[in-house]
Amino acid sequence: MNSSVPSPASAHAPVPPSPGRIRGIKVWLERHFGKFWLAIVFAFLYLPLLFMIVFSFNSTRQDARFTGFSLRWYEALLRDNRIVDGFWLSLKVATVTGLLSAVLATFAAFVLVRYKRFLGRSVFSGMVSAPLVMPEVIIGLSLLLLFVGSQNFFGFPQRGMLTIILGHTLLGTAYAMVVIQSRLMEMDRSIEEAAMDLGAKPSQVFFLVTLPNVFQAIVAGFLLAFTLSFDDVVITEFLSGPGVNTLPQVIFGYARRGINPTIYAAATILIVTVTIVIVSYAVWVARSTRRREKEIMAAGRS
Amino acid sequence: MLPKSLIPGRRFVIGVPYTWLILFFLLPFLILLYISFVDMRGSINPFKPIWDVETGTLILRYENYLSIFRTEEGAPLFRTIYVDAYLRSIWYALATAVLCLVIGYPFAYFIARSPASIRPALLLMVMLPFWTSFLLRVYAWKGLLSDNGVINRFMVFIGLTDAPIRMLYTDISMLVGMTYVYLPFMILPLYANLVKMDFRLLEAAYDLGATPLRAFWLVTVPLSKSGIIAGFMLVFIPCVGEFVIPSLLGGPGTTMIGRVVWDEMFTGNNWPRATALAVVMIGLIVVPLALYYHYTGERAEPKARK
């Protein structure tokens, strides 16, 4: 890393550092402190991920010394029915949560940005963002009480997948709303007005102009809600019923017991997947932004 | 502004999310509040009405709230397990926020000052761990910090300590885990604030003879005050209610209030007290939040009007 820095002695040399060397280190730090700090914090952020990736390939159960390469924990992962079932359940829950949240959040963001005056607007804006600051324990507890109460009165709903989805959607909508709202606020209203001047019906304006303009944000909102749901353990623990276990619940159960490299294998697969999704989302956004800029420039030239 | 008549189904557009929120946010919260005032004695059914149907009067029981603070004889004043858990939660949340600030501020600053071309990539690198499972990242620290774990082995290897240090299930593992998880919540608002800063102000300070450190302290820090406060709140608030981190990285001496609510609900089966504990917990979060809005709301408005 610092091969360009002239340092005559190796850092491990047992000689006491001379005053000149100390000054040299100080100068180096002053000049490179920024990079140094970035490197250290990034190392901190990525250490646990690297750790799990490395030890998911370990040949023994321990996670302090690498004893040899093996894929046995990946095999164990695929054979573990609790994990596999949990994965499919989580995938279902997260997909439905993501879709529901994206739709509800689009509604909510539209209401907040476009409708400046209606009855109970401040109550609405307070409620929609409250789950962002509400501890998950309280969200889970209050929804549990609602479902228990509703079951006492109507015999519905049974605690399980449905109640988990409802709980996750409450949280997911709040997060997705923030993303969509900020995009909707940035949006140039004049293109909507232009469309209307050209005779588009309000529904056409929404579906042909507004929606494509905020679509990127809606996708981001979906991804955010999906991730939150796929990862959530607290709300799920409150709202799931007997025999219903999402992947995080299974992992949480294993994790409290001790070292289990199967979890590292699951983590490695997840890290790779997330990296691919996030990087391709970033590339997609960058590309479509560039394309739009080109189109605008071309339109300006003609 | 669009004329109202041109927007179809305005009522529908408002009604859908409104109904959703009333049904799944407001109503559950009211039930929570309701149960916290229910009389626990003589009835395990928490849905015993709090109003007297015959006389039509409302009977609120504060018993559940009082029981949180009631001290057993001989014990120090107000030091019940509940109060202890509250205090501990606040202490962990404060310590985590301070640690995140100390680590995150220079980090956000250097990202903001790095070339504009690499900034998106650096931010993506901050977000990436944040998008991978929170639960798994916390679990990794359990392995990393254990007595025989990688970090202890490394410290012994380079001669920092002779014997492994006990880190797991102590304050160390709690603070490392919480700082790790919530660091991006501090970095992002700070970055958003610092990247907008006019760095010519710093140059002006240098021209007027300020040392870099002095210029930083007198120019940069005051200008980024709103980012600091926002980051502090974003870390502090979720930390108070943290549940997963104490379950995985904490020991018997690190119980936080989220866990206590859970135990009261499912182990103790005392729903009224669990809900009362939750209501007090909301209070703990609402007070700093209200202060925050009061403070930033007043400062942001005149600027927006300009």
In sequence order, the 6+-apart residues with CB closer than 8 A to the CB of B285 are A133, A134, A135, B237, B240, B241
Q: What is the pLDDT of residue B48?
A: 59
Q: Lowest-confidence range among B39-43, B186-190, B211-215?
A: B39-43
Q: How much is the average pLDDT of B156-176?
A: 90
Please tell me whether residues A171 and A39 are part of one structural domain.
no
Q: Quote the tokens at residue A225.
A: 């809600």
Using the Cβ of A274 and the Cβ atoms of chain B, whether some distance falls under 8 Å is answered with yes
Q: B residues 224-253 near A, CB within 8 Å?
A: 237-238, 240-244, 247-248
Pairing of strands B57-58, B51-52: antiparallel
Q: What is the pLDDT of residue B189?
A: 92
Q: How confident is the model at residue B201 (pLDDT cuts 50, 70, 90)?
A: confident
- Contacts of A209-216 with C-beta under 8 Å, sequence gap 24+, read A213/A183, A213/A187, A214/A106, A214/A180, A214/A183, A214/A184, A214/A187, A216/A183, A216/A285, A216/A288
Spatial separation of the C-alpha atoms in residues B49 and B35, rounded to whole Å: 9
Spatial separation of the C-alpha atoms in residues B155 and B141, rounded to whole Å: 16
Q: How much is the average pLDDT of A24-50?
A: 87
Spatial separation of the C-alpha atoms in residues A229 and A167, rounded to whole Å: 9
Phi, then psi, of B300 in degrees rounded to 5: -75, -30
Please tell me whether residues A170 and A142 are part of one structural domain.
yes
Mean pLDDT of chain A: 87
Beta-carbon separation of B141 and A48 below 8 A: yes
How many Cβ atoms sit within 10 Å of the Cβ of residue A203? 11
Spatial separation of the C-alpha atoms in residues B226 and A150, rounded to whole Å: 43
Indicate whether A5 pLDDT > 80: no
Spatial separation of the C-alpha atoms in residues B271 and B264, rounded to whole Å: 7
Residue % of chain B over a pLDDT of 90:
42
Q: How confident is the model at residue B304 (pLDDT cuts 50, 70, 90)?
A: very low
Q: How confident is the model at residue A6 (pLDDT cuts 50, 70, 90)?
A: very low
Q: Are B223 and B201 in contact (CB under 8 A)?
A: yes
Of A72, A91, A107, which marks where a domain is finished? Answer: A72
Please name which of A44, A41, A276, A275 lies closest in space to residue B111, comparing C-alpha atoms.
Answer: A41
Indicate whether B137 pLDDT > 90: yes
Indicate whether B301 pLDDT > 80: no
Q: Are B136 and A270 in contact (CB under 8 A)?
A: yes
Domain-embedded: residue B218:
yes
Q: B residues 120-159 near A, CB within 8 Å?
A: 120, 122, 124-129, 131-137, 139-144, 146, 148-150, 153
Mutate which: B10, B12, B14, B280, vs A, most A CBs within 10 A:
B14
Q: How much is the average pLDDT of A227-241?
A: 93
Domain-embedded: residue A7:
no
Q: Which of A49, A135, A255 sits opposite B258 (nearest CB)?
A: A135
Helix (H) or strand (E) holding B57: strand B57-58
Beta-carbon separation of A135 and B135 below 8 A: no
- Name every chain A residue with its beta carbon within 8 A of the beta carbon of B137: 48-49
Please tell me whether residues A59 and A180 are part of one structural domain.
no
Domain-embedded: residue B205:
yes
Q: What is the pLDDT of residue B54?
A: 64
Domain-embedded: residue A14:
no
Q: Which of B103, B128, B143 sits opposite A63 (nearest CB)?
A: B143
Instruction: Nearest chain B residue to A49 by CA: give it.
Output: B137
Q: How much is the average pLDDT of A101-126?
A: 89
Domain-embedded: residue A121:
yes
Write the Ramachandran bin of A243: left for phi over 0, alpha for psi from -120 to 50, otherwise beta.
left
Domain-embedded: residue B254:
yes
- Name every chain B residue with its beta carbon within 8 A of the beta carbon of A220: none
Q: What is the pLDDT of residue B303?
A: 40
Indicate whether A157 pLDDT > 70: yes
Helix (H) or strand (E) holding B52: strand B51-52
In sequence order, the 6+-apart residues with CB closer than 8 A to the CB of A221 are A101, A102, A105, A106, A175, A176, A177, A179, A180
Q: Which of A38, A170, A282 sits opposite B124 (nearest CB)?
A: A282
Q: How much is the average pLDDT of A8-26?
A: 58
- Name every chain A residue with its beta carbon within 8 A of the beta carbon of B108: none
CA distances from A175 to A104, B20, B124, B135, B182 (A): 11, 15, 18, 19, 16
Domain-embedded: residue A289:
yes
pTM for the model: 0.85
Q: Lowest-confidence range among A202-206, A297-301, B17-21?
A: A297-301
Instruction: Nearest chain A residue to B279 by CA: give it.
Output: A138
Please tell me whether residues A275 and A135 are part of one structural domain.
yes
Domain-embedded: residue B28:
no
Helix (H, G, I), strand (E, B) or coil at A70: coil
Helix (H, G, I), strand (E, B) or coil at A280: helix
Residue % of chain B over a pLDDT of 70:
85
Q: Lowest-confidence range among A29-38, A140-149, B271-280, B290-299?
A: B290-299
Domain-embedded: residue A2:
no
Using the Cβ of B2 and the Cβ atoms of chain A, whether some distance falls under 8 Å is answered with yes
Q: Which of A38, A252, A279 sits opposite B107 (nearest CB)?
A: A38
Mutate which: B4, B113, B135, B279, vs A, most A CBs within 10 A:
B135
Please tell me whether residues A67 and A96 are part of one structural domain.
no
Q: What is the pLDDT of residue A206?
A: 85
How many Cβ atoms sit within 10 Å of the Cβ of residue A30? 10
- Model confidence pLDDT, tens digit, residues A269-288: 999 998 998 889 888 888 88
The two counts, helices (H) then strands (E), for chain A are 12, 0
Inter-chain contacts counted by CB atoms under 8 A, chains A and B? 207
pLDDT greater at residue A133 or residue A88: A88
Q: How much is the average pLDDT of B86-93?
A: 95
Using the Cβ of B291 and the Cβ atoms of chain A, whether some distance falls under 8 Å is answered with no
DSSP string, A192-259: HHHHHHTT--HHHIIIIIIHHHHHHHHHHHHHHHHHHHHH--HHHHHH--TT---HHHHHHHHHTT--
Q: How confident is the model at residue B52 (pLDDT cuts 50, 70, 90)?
A: low
Q: How much is the average pLDDT of A167-180?
A: 94
- Model confidence pLDDT, tens digit, residues B231-289: 999 999 999 999 999 999 998 889 999 999 999 988 888 888 899 999 999 998 888 88
Helix (H, G, I), strand (E, B) or coil at A69: strand
Q: How much is the average pLDDT of A1-7?
A: 43
Spatial separation of the C-alpha atoms in residues B207 and B217, rounded to whole Å: 16
Q: Which residues of B144-156 are buried (b: 16+ CB within 10 A; e: fewer)?
A: bbbeebbbbeebe
Q: How much is the average pLDDT of A230-248?
A: 93
Mutate which: B21, B89, B190, vs A, most A CBs within 10 A:
B21
Q: Are B197 and B223 in contact (CB under 8 A)?
A: yes
- Name every chain B residue with its beta carbon within 8 A of the beta carbon of A290: none
- Name every chain B residue with its beta carbon within 8 A of the beta carbon of A55: 143
Beta-carbon separation of B29 and A142 below 8 A: yes
Q: Lowest-confidence range among A294-298, B133-137, B147-151, B163-167?
A: A294-298
Q: What is the pLDDT of residue B203?
A: 85
Please name which of A48, A46, A52 lies closest in space to residue A267, comparing C-alpha atoms.
Answer: A52
Q: How confident is the model at residue B66 (pLDDT cuts 50, 70, 90)?
A: confident
Domain-embedded: residue A31:
yes
Q: Which domain holds residue A68?
A: 19-72
Q: What is the pLDDT of residue B190?
A: 94
Please tell me whether residues A288 and A232 are part of one structural domain.
yes
Q: What is the pLDDT of residue B53?
A: 60
Domain-embedded: residue A3:
no
In sequence order, the 6+-apart residues with CB closer than 8 A to the CB of A301 are none
Q: Determine whether B137 is exposed, middle or buried from the number of CB atoms within 10 Å of its CB (0-12, 13-18, 19+).
A: buried
Please tell me whether residues A104 and A219 are part of one structural domain.
yes
- Model confidence pLDDT, tens digit, residues A204-216: 888 888 888 899 8
- Name every chain B residue with its beta carbon within 8 A of the beta carbon of A131: 25
Q: Per the omega criterion (within 30 degrees of 0), is the bond before B246 cis?
A: no
Q: Are A22 and B114 in contact (CB under 8 A)?
A: no
Indicate whether A298 pLDDT > 90: no
Total number of domains in chain A: 2
Please tell me whether residues A260 and A280 are part of one structural domain.
yes
Residue % of chain A over a pLDDT of 70:
91
Q: What is the pLDDT of residue B8?
A: 54
Indicate whether B45 pLDDT > 80: no
Indicate whether B180 pLDDT > 50: yes
- Name every chain A residue with its beta carbon within 8 A of the beta carbon of B262: 137, 237
Domain-embedded: residue A171:
yes
Strand partners, B51: B58
Q: What is the pLDDT of residue B6?
A: 46
Please tell me whether residues A149 and A65 are part of one structural domain.
no
Domain-embedded: residue B138:
yes
The DSSP secondary-structure symbol of B23 reads I
Q: What is the pLDDT of residue A17?
A: 55
Give the gap in angstroms from C-alpha B74 to the nearest C-alpha of chain A: 32
Beta-carbon separation of A170 and B146 below 8 A: no
- Name every chain B residue with its beta carbon within 8 A of the beta carbon of A37: 106-107, 110
In sequence order, the 6+-apart residues with CB closer than 8 A to the CB of A118 are A111, A124, B14
CATH number at residue A231: 1.10.3720.10
Q: What is the pLDDT of residue A43?
A: 96
- Model confidence pLDDT, tens digit, residues A54-75: 999 999 888 888 888 999 999 9
pLDDT greater at residue A234 or residue A14: A234
Instruction: Nearest chain A residue to B258 by CA: give it.
Output: A137
CATH number at residue B190: 1.10.3720.10
Q: How much is the average pLDDT of A227-240?
A: 94
Beta-carbon separation of A124 and B18 below 8 A: yes
Please tell me whether residues A99 and A36 are part of one structural domain.
no
Strand partners, B58: B51
Please tell me whether residues A42 and A156 are part of one structural domain.
no
In sequence order, the 6+-apart residues with CB closer than 8 A to the CB of B293 are none
Indicate whether B91 pLDDT > 80: yes
Give the gap in angstroms from C-alpha B183 to the nearest C-alpha of chain A: 9
Beta-carbon separation of B47 and A65 below 8 A: no
Total number of domains in chain B: 1
Please tell me whether residues A151 and A274 are part of one structural domain.
yes
Q: What is the pLDDT of residue B302?
A: 41
Q: Compute the C-alpha angle A81/A86/A88, nearest 5°.
A: 100
Q: Which domain holds residue B189?
A: 83-305
Q: What is the pLDDT of residue B259?
A: 92
Indicate whether A47 pLDDT > 70: yes
- Name every chain B residue with its beta carbon within 8 A of the beta carbon of A166: 24
Question: Of all residues in chain A, what percent are helix, strand and coil, respectively (each to 5)?
Answer: 75, 0, 20
Helix (H, G, I), strand (E, B) or coil at A296: helix
The CA R_g of chain B, rounded to the nearest whole Å, is 25
Helix (H, G, I), strand (E, B) or coil at A79: helix
Domain-embedded: residue B11:
no
Domain-embedded: residue B22:
no
Domain-embedded: residue B273:
yes
